[in-house]
């Protein structure tokens, strides 16, 4: 049932959602495997959708850790509020405006950004702004993890991050690449 709702929302705005089905448990596992959940951390999730990654992050993080989710789709926001009310900070705005919202929340340090937003299908300027903002917010040795369904973003990611590890998982509805990016 939840996959049908996801598909309906995806068909309404495929460029913003970027896929027809939510991430599989295999993709979710790869997306969060580089996170050190043994310490208190602050994670920003971009494009939370219906929450498959959100759910696993919440299960693994410490009680004092924080998760801030950016989601612009109203239907997905309602789902996230219903599922995770009080456990996440949900922001209805573009990831381009992360700095503004983090400043409002008096947050100066982010340990990880986990992104499922479709960088390839967004306008180039918006994608570049999201990558620049992510790079600036993370600083040195903090990780940006991006889900992609092609390798088309390789060159652009290299403009913002000097270290990039790519993993491939065929175990998804659409085979996926997981990029773990950071600056040393």
Q: What's the CATH code of the domain at 91? A: 3.40.50.150
Q: Which domain holds residue 155?
A: 23-182
> Is the per-residue pLDDT at 172 higher than 70?
no
Please report whether residue 8 resides in a domain: no
* C-alpha separations of 175 from 106, 125, 167 in Å: 38, 26, 11
Residue 175's pLDDT band (boundaries 50, 70, 90)?
confident
Residue 174 is assigned to a structural domain of this protein: yes
Query: What pLDDT band is residue 18 in, cutting at 50, 70 and 90?
Result: very low
Count the helices and strands in the chain (H runs, E runs).
8, 7
Q: Which residue has the higher pLDDT, 154 or 12?
A: 154
6 occurs within a structural domain: no
The pLDDT of residue 43: 98
| pTM of the model as a whole | 0.87
* Residue 2 lies inside a defined structural domain of this protein: no
pLDDT category of residue 5 using cuts at 50, 70 and 90: low
Helix/strand/coil for 22 = coil
67-81, 94-108, 170-184: segment of lowest average pLDDT: 170-184
What is the average per-residue pLDDT within 166-172?
Answer: 82
Average pLDDT along the chain: 88
2 confidence band (pLDDT: 50, 70, 90):
low
Q: How many whole angstroms separate alpha carbon 38 and alpha carbon 51?
A: 22
CA dist 184 and 174 (Å) reads 32
pLDDT of residue 90: 97
**121 three-state secondary structure:** coil
Tokens of 80: 């996230």
Is residue 36 in a domain?
Answer: yes
Distances in Å between the Cα of 29 and the Cα atoms of 38, 59, 78, 89, 116 are: 16, 12, 24, 22, 13
Contact call for residues 131 and 156 (beta carbons, < 8 A): yes
178 domain residue, yes or no: yes
Which ranges in the chain belong to alpha helices (H)? 2-12, 14-17, 25-32, 52-60, 74-84, 98-104, 124-138, 154-160
Number of domains in the chain: 1
pLDDT of residue 25: 81
- Mean per-residue pLDDT, 114-130: 93
**pLDDT recorded at residue 17:** 42
pLDDT classification of 15: cutoffs 50, 70, 90? very low
pLDDT at 68 over 90: yes
């Amino acid at each position: 049932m939840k996959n049908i709702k996801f598909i309906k929302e995806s068909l309404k705005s495929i460029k913003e959602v970027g896929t027809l089905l939510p991430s599989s448990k295999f993709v979710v596992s790869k997306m969060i495997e580089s996170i050190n959940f043994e310490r208190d951390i602050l994670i920003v999730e971009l494009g939370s959708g219906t929450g498959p990654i959100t759910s696993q992050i919440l299960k693994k993080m410490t009680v004092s850790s924080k998760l801030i989710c950016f989601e612009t789709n109203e239907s997905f926001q309602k789902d996230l509020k219903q599922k995770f009310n009080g456990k996440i900070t949900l922001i209805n705005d573009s990831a381009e405006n992360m700095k503004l919202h983090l400043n409002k929340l008096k947050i100066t340090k982010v340990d990880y950004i986990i992104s499922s937003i479709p960088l390839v299908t967004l306008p180039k300027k918006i994608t570049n702004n999201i990558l620049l903002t992510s790079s600036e917010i993370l600083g040195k040795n903090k990780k940006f993890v991006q889900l992609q369904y092609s390798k088309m973003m390789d060159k652009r990611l290299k403009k913002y991050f000097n270290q990039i590890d790519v993993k491939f998982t065929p175990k998804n509805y659409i085979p996926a690449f997981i990029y773990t990016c950071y600056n040393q």
